[in-house]
Amino acid sequence: MSIETFVNEFSAIAANPHGQLKAYKEAGKKCIGVMPYYAPEELVYAAGMMPFGMWGSNKKTISKAKEYCATFYCTIAQLDLEMLLDGTCDLLDGVITPTICDTLRPMSQNIRVAMSEKLPCIFLAHPQNRFADFGKQFCLDQYTHVKTELEKIVGHEITNDDIANAIKVYNKSRAARREFVKLASDHCDVIDPIMRSAVLKAAWFMDKVEYTEKLTALNAELKALPAAKWNGVKVVTSGIIVDNPTLLKVFKDNNVAIAADDVAHESRAFRTDAAETGDPMMALCEQFTNTDYDVLLYDPQSSQNRRGEFVANLVKESGAQGLVLFMQQFCDPEEMEFPYLKKALDAAGIPFIKLGVDQQMRDFGQAATAIQAFADVLSMQ
């Protein structure tokens, strides 16, 4: 197939997750919603069920969820509940609710009350101190709880062999996505920001074997292309989620390509593999331990501004000329981190802009003006 055909297939799936959910259910698959982030999707896959990423929606208005959510909740969390209430995700057989931030922490209770306990809701609390032995044991206990609840839904035991196989499947998928990100930068004349986002977003709604096979084939087509002739600028994107096609079109229209990303919905989700040897449950816990440079994860060396330096180095190493930070509205952790990130970027001499966004954003006038002006500045460097 051609590159265009592959991208169109991924784009169609990214734009219609409900259609994917319906298709898997009609094929006899049980499906589990997975809210952001760092939930062990491998356990869902090992159970023979389909994990479905829940990161809000760009096409929804919030009405029903307002009865349960405070006005200062980020729209990602509110829209997840909205999709359960309005029928968009009514085919799910359960949902995993991580508690990695203050907004996500009460969502399991909101879902239980809102859904009248019709939908099994699996509460997942990650350890704040993930490096110490007691933190790893806490993580193991939590993952074991998730495994037990998933076994109740699927009706059979999830074996260590099942989990070990799932880890291999996911590691292969993560490797393919890391390769795609690099190839998308190398061939940004072919893969624009809208296409890049759609390809990565589709992973949240597809069986990982099927997704990896298609992505590996797309990667092979990209590798066969001649070097890109790019006359625009390149940036690194950072934030929780950057998947709005209208906003990404502003990048495309101003010849701004994405060299790499520090986005939770994208590269942060597949940066770290799990070990394929030893106890598979502990391998998943160690994977979380080894996950690093995230604003929501406790860093005992935070005084060294390690995350800020990581993001600054990512810009330099990717060949980007600057960084675009997408600040999720009402996200306290991101807002509190910003001064430290700014300090690292300024120290490294990296130009950047900060854009306030949410999943209900409809007016892109200010963002378009800011991106266009930023592109002009970068092009003159």
The CA distance from 297 to 231, in Å, is 38
The CA distance from 45 to 19, in Å, is 19
Residue identified by tokens 């797309």 is 218
pTM as predicted: 0.95
Q: What is the pLDDT of residues 49-62, one digit of tens each?
A: 999 999 988 767 88
Q: What is the pLDDT of residues 348-370, one digit of tens each?
A: 999 999 998 877 777 788 889 99
Arithmetic mean of pLDDT, 233-245: 95
The CA distance from 373 to 368, in Å, is 9
pLDDT for residue 201? 97
pLDDT for residue 335? 86
Model confidence at 272: pLDDT above 70: yes
Model confidence at 286: pLDDT above 70: yes
Q: Which two tokens stand for residue 307?
A: 């995350």
Q: Which two tokens stand for residue 128?
A: 């704040």
Q: What is the pLDDT of residues 32-55, one digit of tens each?
A: 999 998 999 999 999 999 999 999
Q: How far is CA 69 from CA 80, 111, 188, in A?
A: 11, 10, 40
For residue 91, give every residue at least 6 positions away whose Cβ sits within 8 Å of its Cβ, in sequence order, or none.
21, 22, 25, 31
For residue 362, give every residue at least 6 positions away whose Cβ sits within 8 Å of its Cβ, in sequence order, or none.
none
Q: What integer best gives the mean pLDDT of the chain?
A: 93
